[in-house]
Amino acid sequence: MLNDNRRSRALLYAGIVAFALFAIVPYYWVIRTSFLTNIAAISPDTGFIPAFGKLTLESYTQIWDRFAFVTFFRNSIIVSVAATIISLFFAIPGAYAFARLDFPGRKALFYTAVFTIMFPWIVLTIPVYEVFYFLDMVNTLVGVIVALSIFVLPQNIWLLQGFFRQGIPENIEEAALIDGHNELTAFLRIVLPLSLPAVAAAALFAFLTAWNNFLWVFVLTTDEEVRTATVAIYYILGSDVLREWNVLMASLVLLVAPPVIFYGLSRRYVGEGLGGTPG
Amino acid sequence: MARLELDDVTKVFDTSAETIIAVEELNLDIKDGEFIVVVGPSGCGKSTTLRMIAGLETVTDGEIRLGGERINEKSPKDRDIAMVFQSYALYPHKTVRQNMAYGLHLSTDLDDEEIDRRVQQAAEMMGIEDLLEKKPSSLSGGQQQRVATGRAIVREPSVFLFDEPLSNLDAKLRKHMRTELARIHSEVGITTVYVTHDQEEAMTMADRIVILDQGTLQQIGAPKQVYHEPVNRFVANFIGSPSMNFVDVELVRNADGSGRLVGDDFDYEVSSRLLQPLDETVSDVEFGIRPENVRIDPDAPTEKSLETTVDVVEIVGSDNFIYLELAGKEFRVRAPSEVEPAEGEPVRITFDEDDIHLFDSASGEALVHGYPSTSVTTTAERSDTTAD
């Protein structure tokens, strides 16, 4: 109905373009500023689209020299990847159990698991810190990994159980049982391969949540060696970088780059995984 | 020997909400090579029974034996069965060939050559040779159904299990597949248990029909037997389309042994031959007659006819289904296509005593069937008619 005539279509596209610009402009600004010099970044003469000659990699080299960004990045990657893998390891069988099996307490357990998504994490900072202090995991990467795995788990379960409930053909495990599998191999060899789109989507969201996480890294770590990039930016902002927008923007670009790349790589699967059907 | 026996098989579902007796003390003795159709309305326990045979549900009580050997504890893959599901349950990420070969690769020691040969043979039998390299998502419902059946054939099991395989197909395709499956059964000769809610499928395909209602066995018998000699009101109502007409009547006896069946707008003379098997005390009965045995005949004698009014006339093409009103209730007649009364027209209907069925009003058990039984079945076929 919307695409009926050219006029309504033109209006539709105009609206989409307007919203797109609205969304993209901040990102563009960040990238633009990151390629300028200190002075050019705060100078009003530089304009919206700077002259090509003015562009420089100065801010990036500064980051490299002044801050241990390699460490921060490495920590971010380790923590995000590990949290993604660990939480998926528990979420996949858990979601499958919730979706396909019936056991006492299933509903209660499921809603408890999912309720934690909605719970404001900031309320839990003190008790969580106490627990991790007790376990001697404060200020360690392992502690951060464990914390993030736990907090990323509910959203994985929720996403995956929706897929398992609807996206797997009915009776297919039973056909597999008759063909010669037992329940475990039926799950591993038949159901899991069919679930790859959903698992990819869950992995993506888990990775993003873990990568972007500020609160738990901030609460559970103090030393630079175990700091991740998100918290590092916070410290960079508060340090002598103050007002050096080009350096700050450059660090932002670096921070955002891995998730963007990761999303680009898994894009093909995400659509399938979220919708349950290809495309 | 693929003789399948169910011995007092019971299935109880005990959930936190309620306890459901899905199947109650079912006894079946299925001979090698027989095509058994299990029918009944939704929730009667037919699918549960099939799944217990397959090993997909545990048996609460009783024993299932295949070839004389108890299989209650065996997992589905060790039972030498193959199953076709209503939803086909094909592996979406595998080709048709891989779907059909998968079970053989997984559970048998056959070499690839032999597996390929079997797959090819089954594919030719099902008419799907040119679909072998396709994936299920690119196939139509009917083609998927054939692949699912082919996958079962390839296993060369002792028993085929079909769980309403044709329910998702359109009417024409369903009828076509019915004859296909019957043909395959005569070619392959493997014991088959086929579950459906469609009594027409049951009648056309079965060697014997098993009729269930609410978990209990109503009747087992050959199609003709179940049609002509239903053991109770439920079976009489379930088999046959349009379904049998039932009228509550009172039996008024004459001195010479004959009598009349009397009800609202109902007065029909019956002979002593019909009433002879009945107990003296019986008076309230339920009268049953199939629509195809009723005729519209304005010249029929009054003591052998009923006066009714036409309600609706359905024109099917080969016949007309005429819905009459008799004492405020529906009465169905199947008439040849030339007979087409107007709506609201009063008509006189008649039928032969041979086609009458009388049922006990309270228990629903059949008391008398008008049809001289020797002309319906041989004594051998009659040996296992009823449930007890």
The closest of B93, B68, B65, B91 to B7, measured between CA atoms, is: B65
Distance CA A144, CA A122 (A): 16
CB-based contact B103 A194, cutoff 8 Å? no
Contact residues on chain A for B106, CB-CB shorter than 8 A = 179-181
Distance from CA of A116 to the nearest CA of B (A): 26
Structural domain span for residue A222: 68-275
Q: Is A10 on the interface with B (CB under 8 A)?
A: no
Q: Is residue B65 in some structural domain? A: yes
Q: Is A192 on the interface with B (CB under 8 A)?
A: no
What token pair was written down for B136? 């299920």
pTM above 0.90, yes or no: no
Q: Is A26 on the interface with B (CB under 8 A)?
A: no
Containing A169, the helix (H) or strand (E) segment is none
Structural domain count, chain B: 2
* Closest chain B residue to the Cα of A176, Cα to Cα: B103
pLDDT at A274: 56
Q: Is residue A1 in some structural domain? A: no
Q: Is residue A48 in some structural domain? A: yes
Distance from CA of B84 to the nearest CA of A (A): 8
Give, rounded to a whole angstrom, the gap between the first and last alpha carbons of chain A. Answer: 22
Distance CA A86, CA A161 (A): 17
CB-based contact B91 A172, cutoff 8 Å? yes
Q: What is the pLDDT of residues B197-235, one digit of tens each?
A: 988 899 999 999 999 999 999 999 999 999 999 999 999
CATH code, domain with B306? 2.40.50.140
Q: Is B106 on the interface with A (CB under 8 A)?
A: yes
Other CB atoms within a 10 A radius of the CB of residue B117 amount to: 11
Q: Is A165 on the interface with B (CB under 8 A)?
A: no
CATH code, domain with A124? 1.10.3720.10
- Of B15, B75, B87, which has the smallest distance from its Cβ to A169's Cβ? B87
pLDDT at B380: 37
Q: What is the pLDDT of residues B145-163, one digit of tens each?
A: 999 999 999 999 999 999 9
Contacts of B278 (CB under 8 A, 6+ apart): B251, B358, B367, B368
Other CB atoms within a 10 A radius of the CB of residue B79 amount to: 20
Residues B213 and B254 occupy one common structural domain: no
CB-based contact A177 B56, cutoff 8 Å? yes
Distance from CA of A174 to the nearest CA of B (A): 7
Residues B37 and B107 occupy one common structural domain: yes
Residues B264 and B350 occupy one common structural domain: yes
Cβ contacts below 8 Å, chain A against chain B, sum to 55
What token pair was written down for A106? 């299933």
Contacts of B235 (CB under 8 A, 6+ apart): B211, B218, B219, B226
Q: Kindly give the confidence (pLDDT) of every residue in chain A, 279 residues in length, as a single tens digit, with 9 standing for 90 and above.
A: 556 788 888 888 999 999 999 999 888 888 888 888 777 777 777 777 777 777 778 878 877 777 777 788 888 999 999 999 999 999 999 999 888 887 888 888 888 887 877 888 888 899 999 999 999 989 888 999 999 999 999 889 988 988 888 888 878 989 999 998 988 898 898 888 888 888 988 998 899 999 988 899 999 988 888 888 888 888 877 776 667 788 888 888 888 888 888 888 777 666 655 554 444
Residues B173 and B260 occupy one common structural domain: no
Distance CA A214, CA A231 (A): 6
* Closest chain B residue to the Cα of A173, Cα to Cα: B89
Contact residues on chain B for A170, CB-CB shorter than 8 A = 85, 87, 89
Residues A115 and A47 occupy one common structural domain: no
Residues B208 and B296 occupy one common structural domain: no
Check if the beta carbon of residue A81 is closer than 8 Å to that of residue A144: no
Other CB atoms within a 10 A radius of the CB of residue B127 amount to: 12
Q: Is A191 on the interface with B (CB under 8 A)?
A: no
> B315 pLDDT exceeds 80?
yes
CA distances to A95, B66, B309, B353, B355 from B327, rounded to whole Å, are 59, 52, 9, 21, 21
CB-based contact B106 A169, cutoff 8 Å? no
Contacts of A213 (CB under 8 A, 6+ apart): A148, A151, A228, A230
Interface pTM, i.e. ipTM? 0.81
* Closest chain A residue to the Cα of B76, Cα to Cα: A178
The dihedral over CA atoms of A268, B134, A168, A204, expressed in degrees to the nearest 10, equals: -10
Residues A149 and A244 occupy one common structural domain: yes
Mean pLDDT value of segment B337-351: 90
Structural domain span for residue B342: 242-371
Distance from CA of A180 to the nearest CA of B (A): 5
Check if the beta carbon of residue B308 is closer than 8 Å to that of residue B266: no
The closest of A238, A220, A270, A237 to A75, measured between CA atoms, is: A220
Other CB atoms within a 10 A radius of the CB of residue B300 amount to: 15
Mean pLDDT value of segment B256-263: 86
Q: Is residue A14 in some structural domain? A: yes
